[in-house]
Structure 1
Amino acid sequence: MRIILLSSFFLVYLSLFSVAQERSFFAIEGTVRSESGEGLPATIIVHELGKGTAADLEGNFRIDGLNPGNYHLHVTHLGYKALTKTIRITTEDLQLDLRLEESAITLQSLTIEANPFKNGPVEQSQSIEVVDREFMEKNNSGTFANALEKLPGISTINTGVGISKPVIRGMSFNRIMVNDRGIKQEGQQWGADHGLEIDPFDVDRVEVVKGPASLIYGSDGMSGVINISPAPFPREGNIQGHLINSYRTNNAMRSHSAMVEGNKNDFVFKGRVTLQDFQDYRVPADRFVYAGFELPVYDNRLKNTAGKERHFSLMTGWRKNWGKSTLTVSRFQQKAGIFTGAVGIPNSYNLRHNGDYGDIEFPRQDNTHLKVISNTTIQLKENWLELDLGYQRNERMEQSLPHIHGVGPTPEGNLALALYLNTFTANARLNYHINPKHQSIIGFQSSLMDNRFGGFEFLLPAFRSLNAGLFYFHEYRWTNNLIVNAGLRLDGARHVIQSHEQPVYDQSLNPTGETVQRNPDIDRDFFNISGATGFSWILNEHNNFKLNLGSSFRIPTPIELATNGIHHGNFRHEIGDADLKSERSYQADLNFTHSLDKLLFGISPFIAYYQDYIYLAPTGRFSTLSGASTLWEYRQNNALFAGAELKFQWAPIQGIQFSLAGEYIYNQNLDTRLPLPLTPPASVLSSIEYSLPKTLWFIANSYFYLEYRQVAAQNRVDRNERTTGGYGLLQAGLGWEIPLGSKAWKIQISGQNLLDTYYFNHLSRYRLLNLPEQGRNINFNLKIPFQLKSN
C-alpha cells in the first residue's frame, strides 16, 4: 500500500510538471437560449475544473483561462432539461450557441455525473437517479439513507430512528457501495444495526446507480452504487454559508448545522459543523409481546432510544488551469442508545423510564468515523487523470452491563464489543479521449483494511484484507442516436483472519483455564474476471431505450467467513462459513423513458441470476450462548432476482405536479425453492405538489405537497422468517422563502405518519421484538443563508 500511495503522488508530481510547460489559455463564450430563442440566465459548469459562471439575463456567458483539450459542460436552469455537452478547445476561443428544452419536471434540470464518461443522461446505459441539496433538505428525516427512500427502487433497513442503511433492489450491506468523494465508505456495513456514518446535512449531491456496477466501482457494486459528490466550487471572491436549524416532535430531535465556504484566487475552502440530539422516540402502542410475554411500553416511548451526534468536515484545495485538487477531513460521531430489550431478556422493570427521556443508558453504541480524502484531477493534453486517496478510521463500541450477558466482570468494564477498522484506499482513472466517436477509461483501485477488536464479547475476529482491481471501459458512438459501451475488469483479494480462543467459565462464572475456538485461522485468496456491456438508443427527442448487461462478482467478506457470536442489534447469534466461495451474477437491466416538457414516464425491469449467492438465514434453533436468541448462519445457494421500477411525473398546468414511484422485487432460492430473507415488499408512493414562484411580496417560492405510500404485505419469506402485513402512510409538507436583502430565509414544515398508523416495516430490526415503527412526527426546518463577501 505504501508503494501504491508513493506511486500516486509521483504521478501527480510528473503530471503537474508536464502541464506547467504549456500555458496557452483560451475561453469559452456564447449564449444559452430557450427553443424559442429567449436568453436564459443559466448556470454553466466546466465539470473537470469545478469552474463555472452564470449567464446574464440575455443568456450571454464567458469562461476564461482554459487549456487546449476536451471538457464537459453542464448547463442547468430551473424549468428546463439539463444539458451536458462535450467540447474541444484547440488553438482559439470557442463560440457556443446552447439551446435548452423546456420542462416542468423538476428533476430533469439536474445533470448526471455518475456516468464515467461525463456525458448526458440519455447517453449512459445504466439507470441513474440524481438528487441535489434541495431534495435532501426537503426530505431529511434525520439520516442520510432515509432521505433517499422516495426514489423508486430504494428502501432502508432501520434500527430505531437514528440508524438506517440503504437497500437497492432488495440488496444491501456489502452488495451496495457508498462512495463519498470517490472513496468507498468502509465501516461495519455488514450489520443492520450499523448506520452509514454520513452527516445528512453535508450532502450536496447524490447519484444512485441501480443495477450491476461492479465493472467501474468494484465487487461491492453488484446491486448498485450511491455516489456522494461535492457541490461545485464557489465563485471567485465569494465567501458565503448558511445555518440550518430543525426540530422533530416525535423524539424532540434538535439539529443545528453551520456551513461556510469561500474562494479567493482559486483557493477554495469549506467547513461544516453539525449537532444533533434526540430523545426516546414514540410509537403508537403501549405494549408489545416478546417470547410469549406481554410487556409495557411506558408513555408510548421506547426506552433508551435517545442519542446525540457531533459531526464536522473541512475541505480545502485549489483550482488551476491544469485541474483541481482538494483535501477533505471529516469526523462523524454518534452516541445512541440501544432499546433495552435488545440485549438480554426484557422485563417490566428494566423497561421503565428514569424520568429523563434524553438519557443514554446501557446498552448503547458509540460510533466514530474519521475520513481523510484527497481528490486530484489533472489535465494531460486532451485527457484527464483522476486520483483519489483516502484513509478511514472506523470505531464501533457497544457498551452494556456484563451481568446481562451472563459473564463476570472483566478488565474491559462495560465495553461489550469494540471494532477498530483502518482502511487505506488508492484509486486512479485515466479518461482517454481517442476521437469524437471513441473514448475509454483505464482504472486501478486498491484498498487495505486492518480490523482489531476488544471487549468481553466476541463477534468478529481480527483480520487484514487487501483488494486490488484493474479495469478497461470503452464507449463508442456508433451513430448520433446509438451509443454502445463495453468493459472488462480483473480483481484479486486476500483475507488473512486470525483465530480466536474464548475462555470457558464454570457455573459460578469463574474461569476454568480452558478455551474453546470460536473461529480458526483463515488465509484465503480470490481472483475474478468480470465484464459488462450496454447501449443507449435515442429513438427520438422524447424516447430513450437502454440495455445494460453484466457479469459481476462479490468476494466473501471476513464477517461472512469467520463470525461466531451474538449480534445484539440484530437479536441473533450469527455464524460464518470459512469455505464460502465468491458470488457470481449474470444481470440484465432495461430502461425505457418517455419524456415531454410536462410529462415523464420511465420503467426499469431487471433480472439477475446469482451463482453461490451468500446470505444470512435463520436456522430455527436457539443459540447455546447466554443471552442469545435464535441461530442464523451464512449459507450459499443459487438465486434468482427479478423486478421492476416505475416512475411517472405529470405537470398538467403550471404549479401542479403529480408523481408516482413504484417498485416490485421477486427473488427465489433456487436450491430450497423458498424466497430469500429480508426482501422488501412491493410499494407505491403517490404525491401531488402545488407550488408558486411568487405569492406575496414577503413570501416567494412557496409549495405544498401531499404523499401517500402504500406498502403490500410481505408473505413471501424464508423458512423461520416472520411475515408482515401491508400498510399505508400519509405524509405532507409545505415550505416558503422570505426574501431578506439579496438572500432568502427558507422555512419548511413536513409530517410523517400523520395518521399515527400502527405498522411493521419488514426490514426493521425492531419488528423481531414485535415493536411497531415510529408514530406521528412533525418536522420544522429553518435555513438562513448569509454572504460574508462577494466579488
Structure 2
Amino acid sequence: MLVAQTVRGTITGEGGEPLMAHIHIHELGKSALADLEGNFSISGLRSGTYHLHFTHMGYKAQTLTVRILEEDISLEVTMPESAFTLQALTVEANPFKNGPIEQSQTIDVIDRNFIERNNTGTFANALEKLPGISTINTGVGISKPVIRGMSFNRIMINDRGIKQEGQQWGADHGLEIDPFDVDRVEIIKGPASLVYGSDGMAGVINIAPGATPDPGTLNGHLISTYRSNNHMFGHSGMLEGNHNDFIFKARFTAQDYENYRVPASQFTYAGFVLPIFENRLKNTAGSERHFSFSGGVRKDWGKSTITISRFSQDAGIFTGAVGIPNSYSLRHDNGHGIVDFPRQDNTHLKVISNTTVQHKNNWLEIDLAYQANRRREESLPHAHGIGPTPEGNLALGLFLDVITGNVRYNTRINGKHQTIVGFQSQHMQNRHAGFEFLLPNFQSTQAGTYYFHEYRWKKNLIVNAGVRVDAAVHRIREHRQPIYERLRPTGEYEQRNPEINRTFFNVSGSSGLSWVLGDDHNLKLNLGSSFRMPTPIELATNGVHHGNFRHEVGNPALNPERSYQADLNYTYSTKRFLFGISPFWGYYDGYIYLSPSGRFSTIPGASTVWNYRQNNAVFTGGEVKTEWVLFSGFSLSVAGEYVYNFNLDTRLPLPLTPPLSVLTGFHYTLPLTSQAFRDFYTFVEYRHAADQNRTDRNERSTAGYDLVEAGFGWESRIGQQSVLVQVSGQNLTNSFYFNHLSRYRLLNLPEQGRNISLSIKIPFRLR
C-alpha cells in the first residue's frame, strides 16, 4: 500500500535512462509530464485510492495503484522498452483501471493516430485493421462493426460510458459516430455482459474521451481529407482549453461525397440484368454535418463534464435497392452529387453527463444521458404500389428516445482486494411514422445490478469473479397497415404484428484470471455465462427492410438467449517481437438470428422473406497476431482471424459469417529531421480473404479476394507551424470482389474500386 499527500518520483527505462514520460491520474483526469531528468511531482491530492498511468513512446505502458493518506511518497518507475506503438497505450476498459496485466479479457487499444491513419470515411471501417473485427457494409459511408462473427444487438458501442442506441439492429443503419471525434477506443472481445449489460455478449467497443488539456492551455487542430473514389471532401476543426481547471472541447465536422465507383458495368436484381452507367451507383451521394461540445470542471474531489453532440447525415439510397428498378431510373440525370429519392435523413442527438466523485477512500462514478435518434427514409409512394398518402414522401420514420443512468462504486479494500457494485437502467420509446411499416411503436425498460470482485492472489496472478441480475419489460403496440389496390386504399387493414407484452429476468456471471509468467509471457482466461433478451425488433418486425433487400418477420414467441463462453489469450512480448493468440469457444442456447426462408414476399418492392428464428448454436475460432521489428524503423506484421459456427438444430452454418482473413503489413519509418520532411513513414498492406462456402440454407456463397493498400506520410515545418500530411490508396488493383457481409452482395454489386485518400492536419496552440 502506498501512502502520500504528494506523489513524486523518477521514471527511467530499463537501462537507467531518464524518460520524459506522461503521467495521467484516471479518476481526476489530471496529467503531468516528467522533466528531462525523469522527475515528476503531483501535489494537492486528497486521501483516497488513485490509478497512475505512465506512458512514453517506445516503452510499454505502466500502471500503479496509489493509496493516499498523510505522508509524501517517492516512486521509482521503470518502463520496459518496446518497439510497438500500441504498447505505449494504457487499458482503462478494465473496471478497476489498474492496467492491462490485471485484465482477464482480450482487449485491443487504439488511439487517434491509428484512427486517422486508417480513416476511410466511417468509424467502424477504421477498426477493420484489428484481428477479429470486420464490418457489415451498405455501400460507402454506412458500416457496422462485427466482432467474431456477431454484430447488431450483441455488440455494445459505449460512448463516454453510455450505450449508443441508434437502430443498431439494421445493417443499413450506420453508427452515428463522427470518426474525427474519437480520441481513444478500447475493444473488448468475448463475453463482457457482466459489467456492461446483456448486449455485450460478443464484445464491447468503448469510445473514451481524450486526456483533458493542461491548465492554462488553449489548442486545437484542423483536418482536411479527400477521397478520389466518390470525390469526398471532409473538414473537421477542434478547439479545447483549460482555465483554472474549467475545461472545454468543441468540434465541427462536415463531409460531402458523390456517387461512388465500382469496377462493374451491370448488376442483377430479381433476375433482371441492369446497367451501371459510368461505373457509378446512382444516388449514393450524401453529406454529413456533426458537432460536439464538452465542458466541465476538474477538481481535487473528482471531475464532472457535460457533452452535447449531434450527428447528421443526408444520404441517398441506391435506386436499385428500393422497388423494381429499370434502366431509365438508373441513369445519372443531374450530376453525381445530387441526393434524390429514395433517401435517408438521420440525426442523433446525445446529452451525456459524466461525474466522478471521491467518497472517503473510494470512487463513485455516475453517467447520465438522453439520446434522440431520428431516422427518416423518404421515397415516392407510387414506387411502392400505393397512391398519395397523408405522410407525403415519408416512407419510414423511426423516432427513438432513450434515457440512461449508470452508477458504479469502486472500493479498494486493501492491497489485494477490490470490488465494484454497479447499477444500470435504461428506458426507450420508439415511434413509427410513414406509409411503410417495419417496426411498431414500443416502450422498453431495462435495469441491471452487478457485483464484481478482483483478488491479487500473488504478485503475478490476478483472479476476478462477479454476478449480475437483469430485468426488462417490453410493451409493443399492435400495428394494422392499410391495404392498397391499384394505388388506391381499399379501406381494409392487415395486422402486421399483435400487441406484445413480455417480461424477462435473469442471473448471469463470469470469472477470469491473468497470469504473468516471467517478464515476457502473459496468459489470460475468461469464463462467462451471458444472457440476452430478445429485442422488440426481433419480436415484432414485419416489413420490407430495403437496405437489406428483404422482408423481415419477427417472432413474438422468442425466448432469451443463454450463452456459455470461454476466452483464452496468450501473449509473448519482447522489445522487438510480439506474438498473441486468442482462441474462443461459446455455446448458445436459443441463439436468435435472421434466416432466409427461400420464399418471395407478397409486398410490392420486396425480395425474399427472412424470419427470426431460434436454435442452439456453437461459435468457435480465434485470432493470431505477430509483429516483428526486423531492424530500426522497419516492421512486419501478420494478423489472422477465423470464425466457425454451427447450428446444432439445422446442422448448417449460421448466415452472414465472415470468412477466414489474413492481413500482412510492412511498415517503415525514417527518422528524417529536415524542415520539409520529418518522421517520414510508409506502409504496404495485403489482405487475403478466403472463399466463404459455409453458408446457411438459401444463402449465397462468396468467392475469396485479395486487396492491396499502401500509403505514406510525413510532418513538415513551416516556421513554427507543424503540418501533417498523409497519402494512402485502398484497393489499389481495382479488384472486383464481394464482401460476404455487404448487403449489396445480394445484388451482385461489388465493393468500391480504387480509392486514393489525402489528409492534411494542422495542429495549433493559441497559448
Q: TM-score range by the shorter chain?
A: over 0.9
The answer to whether the Cα contact below 8 Å between 1:25 and 1:64 also exists between their aligned partners in 2 is no
Moved more, 367-376 or 340-349: 340-349
Matched residue of 1:664: which SS?
A: strand
Moved more, 535-544 or 697-706: 697-706
Q: Which amino acid aligns with 1:739?
A: R
Q: Give the structure 2 partner of residue 568 of structure 1.
A: 546
The answer to whether the Cα contact below 8 Å between 2:158 and 2:205 also exists between their aligned partners in 1 is yes
Distance 1:436 1:764 in 2: 50
TM-score (norm 2): 0.99
Q: Give the structure 2 partner of residue 4 of structure 1.
A: none
1:669-680 to structure 2, matched below 5 A, reads: 669-680=647-658
2:386 maps to 1:407? yes
The answer to whether the Cα contact below 8 Å between 1:547 and 1:588 also exists between their aligned partners in 2 is yes
2:375 maps to 1:396? yes
Q: Give the structure 2 partner of residue 341 of structure 1.
A: 320
Q: Give the structure 2 partner of residue 684 of structure 1.
A: 662
Within the candidate set 516, 521, 543, 2:494 is matched to 516
Identify unmatched segments of 5+ residues in structure 2. none
Distance 2:340 2:590 in 1: 42
Q: Which amino acid aligns with 1:536?
A: S
The answer to whether the Cα contact below 8 Å between 1:282 and 1:774 also exists between their aligned partners in 2 is yes
Q: Give the structure 2 partner of residue 8 of structure 1.
A: none
2:464 maps to 1:485? yes
1:48-59 to structure 2, matched below 5 A, reads: 48-59=27-38
- How far does residue 743 in structure 1 lie from its aligned partner after superposition? 4.7
Q: Give the structure 2 partner of residue 752 of structure 1.
A: 730
Moved more, 181-190 or 86-95: 86-95
Q: Which amino acid aligns with 1:610?
A: Y
- How far does residue 648 in structure 1 lie from its aligned partner after superposition? 0.4
2:487 maps to 1:502? no
- How far does residue 505 in structure 1 lie from its aligned partner after superposition? 2.5
Matched residue of 2:736: which SS?
A: coil
Q: Which amino acid aligns with 2:63?
A: T
- How far does residue 25 in structure 1 lie from its aligned partner after superposition? 9.3
The answer to whether the Cα contact below 8 Å between 2:382 and 2:487 also exists between their aligned partners in 1 is no
Q: Which amino acid aligns with 1:231?
A: G
Q: Give the structure 2 partner of residue 5 of structure 1.
A: none
Q: Give the structure 2 partner of residue 209 of structure 1.
A: 188
Q: Give the structure 2 partner of residue 622 of structure 1.
A: 600
Q: Give the structure 1 partner of residue 628 of structure 2.
A: 650
Distance 2:719 2:105 in 1: 43
Matched residue of 2:50: which SS?
A: strand
Q: Give the structure 2 partner of residue 284 of structure 1.
A: 263
Q: Give the structure 2 partner of residue 19 of structure 1.
A: none
Q: Give the structure 1 partner of residue 741 of structure 2.
A: 763
TM-score (norm 1): 0.96
- How far does residue 104 in structure 1 lie from its aligned partner after superposition? 0.6
The answer to whether the Cα contact below 8 Å between 2:225 and 2:234 also exists between their aligned partners in 1 is yes
Q: Give the structure 2 partner of residue 69 of structure 1.
A: 48
Distance 2:337 2:231 in 1: 9
Deviations 1:742-781 (A, max 9, x none): 5521100011000000000000010100000000000000
Distance 1:316 1:744 in 2: 27
Deviations 1:97-152 (A, max 9, x none): 11110011111111100010111211110000000000000000000000000000
Q: Give the structure 1 partner of residue 521 of structure 2.
A: 543
2:452 maps to 1:452? no
- How far does residue 504 in structure 1 lie from its aligned partner after superposition? 2.1
- How far does residue 697 in structure 1 lie from its aligned partner after superposition? 3.7
Within the candidate set 88, 113, 117, 1:134 is matched to 113
1:552-631 to structure 2, matched below 5 A, reads: 552-631=530-609
Matched residue of 1:387: which SS?
A: strand
Matched residue of 1:732: which SS?
A: strand
Distance 2:678 2:721 in 1: 12
2:653 maps to 1:664? no
Q: Give the structure 2 partner of residue 21 of structure 1.
A: none
The answer to whether the Cα contact below 8 Å between 1:25 and 1:67 also exists between their aligned partners in 2 is no
Q: Which amino acid aligns with 1:45?
A: H
Within the candidate set 299, 322, 331, 1:320 is matched to 299
Distance 1:774 1:157 in 2: 14
The answer to whether the Cα contact below 8 Å between 2:385 and 2:484 also exists between their aligned partners in 1 is no
Q: Give the structure 2 partner of residue 10 of structure 1.
A: none
The answer to whether the Cα contact below 8 Å between 1:276 and 1:309 also exists between their aligned partners in 2 is yes
Distance 1:240 1:740 in 2: 18
Distance 2:614 2:8 in 1: 58
2:377 maps to 1:378? no
The answer to whether the Cα contact below 8 Å between 1:25 and 1:65 also exists between their aligned partners in 2 is no
Q: Give the structure 2 partner of residue 196 of structure 1.
A: 175
Matched residue of 2:123: which SS?
A: coil
Q: Which amino acid aligns with 1:467?
A: Q
Within the candidate set 222, 226, 229, 2:208 is matched to 229
Distance 2:383 2:430 in 1: 26
The answer to whether the Cα contact below 8 Å between 1:114 and 1:207 also exists between their aligned partners in 2 is yes
Q: Which amino acid aligns with 2:323?
A: G
Distance 2:88 2:720 in 1: 24
Distance 1:343 1:505 in 2: 18
Matched residue of 1:174: which SS?
A: helix
- How far does residue 93 in structure 1 lie from its aligned partner after superposition? 2.0
Distance 2:317 2:507 in 1: 42
Q: Which amino acid aligns with 2:699?
A: E
In the alignment of these two chains, the number of paired residues is: 765
Deviations 1:209-262 (A, max 9, x none): 000000000000000000000001000000000000000000000000000000
Distance 1:484 1:744 in 2: 46
Note the aligned Cα RMSD (angstroms): 1.0
Q: Which amino acid aligns with 1:751?
A: G
Distance 2:733 2:558 in 1: 46
Deviations 1:70-106 (A, max 9, x none): 1101111100011111111110222111111001111
Within the candidate set 700, 705, 721, 2:683 is matched to 705
Taking a change above 3 Å as real, the CA distance of residues 25 and 272 of structure 1, as seen in their structure-2 partners, is farther
Distance 1:74 1:778 in 2: 38
Within the candidate set 409, 432, 456, 2:411 is matched to 432
Within the candidate set 602, 612, 621, 1:634 is matched to 612
Q: Which amino acid aligns with 2:391?
A: E
2:169 maps to 1:179? no
Q: Give the structure 2 partner of residue 722 of structure 1.
A: 700
Within the candidate set 166, 172, 185, 2:145 is matched to 166
Matched residue of 2:157: which SS?
A: strand
Deviations 1:177-206 (A, max 9, x none): 000000000010000000000000000000
Within the candidate set 225, 230, 234, 1:251 is matched to 230
2:335 maps to 1:351? no
Distance 1:664 1:423 in 2: 35
- How far does residue 695 in structure 1 lie from its aligned partner after superposition? 4.3
- How far does residue 36 in structure 1 lie from its aligned partner after superposition? 1.1
Distance 1:106 1:635 in 2: 44
Distance 1:452 1:32 in 2: 56
Q: Give the structure 1 partner of residue 126 of structure 2.
A: 147
Q: Which amino acid aligns with 2:426?
A: S
2:277 maps to 1:298? yes
Matched residue of 2:413: which SS?
A: strand
Q: Give the structure 1 partner of residue 763 of structure 2.
A: 785
Distance 1:262 1:28 in 2: 25
Q: Give the structure 2 partner of residue 78 of structure 1.
A: 57
Matched residue of 1:66: which SS?
A: coil
Distance 2:205 2:407 in 1: 19
Within the candidate set 42, 66, 71, 1:87 is matched to 66
The answer to whether the Cα contact below 8 Å between 2:124 and 2:145 also exists between their aligned partners in 1 is yes
The answer to whether the Cα contact below 8 Å between 1:133 and 1:205 also exists between their aligned partners in 2 is yes
Q: Give the structure 2 partner of residue 475 of structure 1.
A: 454
Identify unmatched segments of 5+ residues in structure 1. 1-23
Distance 2:656 2:529 in 1: 24
Deviations 1:701-760 (A, max 9, x none): 110000000000100000000000000000001010013455521100011000000000
Distance 1:37 1:504 in 2: 79
